[in-house]
Structure 1
Amino acid sequence: MITQFTQFFLHTLVGRTIIGYLLIFTVPITVPALLITLIGVKGLRHLFSYEPKATVIHKLDPRLKVLYPFIIGLLSVALNWNFVYFLLAFTIIPWILVRPSFIRARVVFTLIVTPAIGLIWSQGLFYVTHYSGAHILFLFPPTLTWYGTPGLSSTGLLYGVEQAGRVMVATSASLMLLLTTKPSEIIWAFYKFRMPATVGLAFTAALRFLPQMIERMTVLLQVMQVRGYDLTRPQWWELYEWPGYIGRVFAAIPIVTVPLLIGSLRSTSVMAMVADARAFGSKPQPTSLQDHQTTTGDRIASGVLVALIAIVLLLIILHIGNRQA
């Protein structure tokens, strides 16, 4: 039986076409499904929101937390890929100190891992250096020439693993900044870096845009359901219900889009009026920003970052961990 299945899927045109379509569409369908299943609407609403806690990381100087993702990102670009995964392990240490809730930890893990899965898949299919030989793990049949790639390659998968480490490192460090730093602290850090306060305001407003948009959309959908519009998702085995459900979802898109757009424009206008009423940016020396006093934790964190930079530079100078590709 196993031999017959192997013969059909690996040595016939129909079988190889089926395998090829599975390789092409499985990951693009699975990654969004993982995001929706593991994060959900509630997770998206609190995606970039600050989580107040009395931890060592929360009490650090905001300037250190703003510099942290930039430093980690630059180091990941300079290092060879195998050392990048050691850097990824280093970025886990602050998360251990933060002790996030289970829901927040699941959201962070999903946001770090799912883009890496998509990157490895795409590079495995499209980063092809040799079109024959052992580098091709699965050669697409002639029926899939429209896809523009000869098949799944081992060199592409390896290259995807190399680049995925850099993506995960940058994502982990960036989320650490967003989830442990207040918007006012980010504005203060930008001001201390001699940048206009409006840059910090624009940065924090951009971070709040997606959660606020999802919050409004959730409210609109709940209002529609209260008024009798059925958006209940059927079970996966209720195949006869899915066409009607998909039709209702597409019909609800224009109903939701217009008030969503109007609400976003209204909130932007309100934010601008509040900033004008508080005379935001009218004085070169802000009077409402609270200064951060340097603590022992700040000195220790600064020393750790300096030591990390020194170690990476030493590895590069000695040609041990410098980037090869």
Structure 2
Amino acid sequence: MARTFWQGYQAFLTQARLWTGESGERPVVEAVRARARHDPDAFHAWVQSQGWGRAYVERHLLYVVDHPEEVRELLRRGYPARRIPLRLLDRTALAAALTEADWRTAVDRLFQGSRQPHWAGQRVWLFDSSPELRRREGLAPSVAEALIELVCPPGGFVVDPLAGSGELVRAARATGRRAWGGDLRPSSADVVQADVTDLLQHVPERSADVLILHPPTFGAWAKTTADLADVPHSEHYAAYLDGIVGFLLTTRAVLKPGGVVVLIARPPRDGHVFLAPFELALGEHGLTPSAYRLAVSRDGTEDWHFFIAQDTKE
């Protein structure tokens, strides 16, 4: 079986110790560098005697000692050196990818960068719906992935405290992001059973690059909310919007400064569709609206509105 780059590097260090008389990784490498500068003929003869390529030693092996620890750990695990984009490396994202159970897939996706579908940049997304999607108010996988690609960089951390069946959690993980999803009544193994008010018990403060709020639609909320008995019917929608603001205020603490909040909504269809209240709910709490997307099912029976805002509060 062919040896890995790291195994080759260890073999290089072994021979370099014998040649220089030094011990310890950095002293050995520094001694080889010094001989390469001051006696290049002897250096080239030694390299040739070991069967190595001169360029391979000079451009790769002699610089491993200077690599960030995250890269060295990746090499120790047997990852091919040629596939590591050193000049474009995001150390934080790489460190996060290395903690994943399937770290190799996470690293591959990180280094591949965004694979955003060509249509994800459009303002209106079309998707194929189904009775099951409509029943559980879930997002189509293609829409979930497009949203994640739009709002979160590879390696970023997505938090979805109203995750339901976990479409966005799965989309984030499948595209090289980290994700945590919670719900009071989860319907997927990808989602932790957790009350939104207890979010800080599960997610560290100021750790999320993206906070997603996907509350129940007004219709679903009105059917299950007992507190509406004493509220005039004309004020039910205002109470719903207040509930959304409550979700935002409860979960905001996990968002990093400068992070992104996504509010997913489906305004009631009663002859009029009012979108402004959703943007106002974000803008009144230190969030600057930055983008809007609309997802519509091909049969016209389902629509989702995505209000995207950035944290501007210190």
Q: TM-score range by the shorter chain?
A: under 0.3
TM (norm. structure 1) is 0.19
Q: Quick one: higher RCO (CA 8 Å, sep 6+), 1 or 2? A: 1
TM (norm. structure 2) is 0.20
Structure that is richer in helix per residue: 1
